[in-house]
Chain A
Amino acid sequence: MKRGWWEGQAEALGRALALLRTAPLVTAVVTLVLATALALPAAMAWLGAGVTQWFGRQGTEPQITAFFRQKLAREEALAVVQRWREDEAVARVVFVPREEALARLRQTDLGAAIETLPDNPLPDAMTLVPRRHAPPEVARLQQRLAEETGVEAVQVDTAWVERVHGLARAGTMVAAALAAWFALGMLAQTYLAIRLQLVAAAQEIAVLRALGATDGYIGRPFRWLGWLQGLFAGCVGAALWGGLIAWLAPPFDELARLYGLGGFAPFPLWTGALVLVAAGAVLGALGAEISLRQFFRASP
Chain B
Amino acid sequence: MIRCEKLAKIYPGPVAALVDLDLTIPAGQFLLVCGHSGAGKTTLFRLIAGLETPTSGTVSVNEHDVARLGRGGLPYYRRRFGLVLADAPLLPQRTVAENVALPLLIAGVPRRQAFERVALALERVGLAGRAHELPPTLSGGEQQRAAIARAVVHRPSVVIADEPTAQLDHDSAKEVVRLLRAFHAAGVTMIIATHDEALFSSVAQRRIVLAHGRLVEDAR
Contact = CB atoms under 8 A, between A and B. Distances in A.
Nearest 8 A-B pairs (CB), nearest first? A212-B79, A3-B110, A212-B78, A210-B88, A2-B108, A214-B75, A213-B106, A212-B75
A300 to B, nearest CB: 7
Interface string B86-110: 0111010100000000110111111
B75 A8 contact: no
Contacts of B72: 214
Interface stretch (A31-39, A200-208, A231-239): A200-208
User: Interface size for chain A: under 10, 10 to 19, 20 to 34, or 35 or more residues?
Assistant: 20 to 34
B113 A211 contact: no
Contacts of A7: 110-111
A210 B78 contact: yes
Interface string A118-138: 000000000000000000000
Given A204-B91, A207-B91, 10 more contacts: A2-B110, A3-B110, A3-B111, A8-B108, A203-B89, A207-B102, A210-B49, A212-B76, A212-B77, A214-B75
A300 B51 CA distance: 10
A212 B108 contact: no
A11 interface: yes
Contact of A1 (B79, B87, B91, B113): B113
Contacts, number: 62
Interface of B: 49, 51, 71-72, 75-79, 83, 85, 87-89, 91, 93, 102-103, 105-111, 113, 150
Contacts of B78: 209-212
Interface string A246-277: 00000000000000000000000000000000
